Amino acid sequence: MKYRFRTQGTCSQMIEFDITDGVLSNVAFYGGCDGNLKGISKLVEGMPVEDVISRLEGVRCGMKATSCPDQLAQALKQALAQ
């Protein structure tokens, strides 16, 4: 299933991804640090959603309370709650 999540508190504005049988794929960030976000997308490709959440939740960007990786974790938690 395809999901779309509007980020908050980060340079990226949106994240799109698919979850199939609990596995994450096709992660795309819009806005933000292009190279870093493409790297994150490739690293989490094919991982179980729960593993991605546990690894990325709580990651901060500088003085911000969140980050793009944390926003991905929040998006995944929201998707699982649906």
Tens-place pLDDT, residues 24-73: 999 999 999 999 999 999 999 999 999 999 999 999 999 999 999 999 99
In single-letter form, the type of residue at position 36 comes to N
Q: Please, is 61 exposed, middle or buried when counting C-beta atoms within 10 Å of its C-beta (0-12, 13-18, 19+)?
A: middle
How many other β-carbons are positioned within 10 Å of the β-carbon of residue 51?
Answer: 13
Look at the chain and report how many structural domains it folds into. Answer: 1
> For position 8, which CATH number holds?
3.30.390
In this predicted model, what pLDDT tens digit does every residue of 5-22 receive, in sequence order?
999 999 999 999 999 999
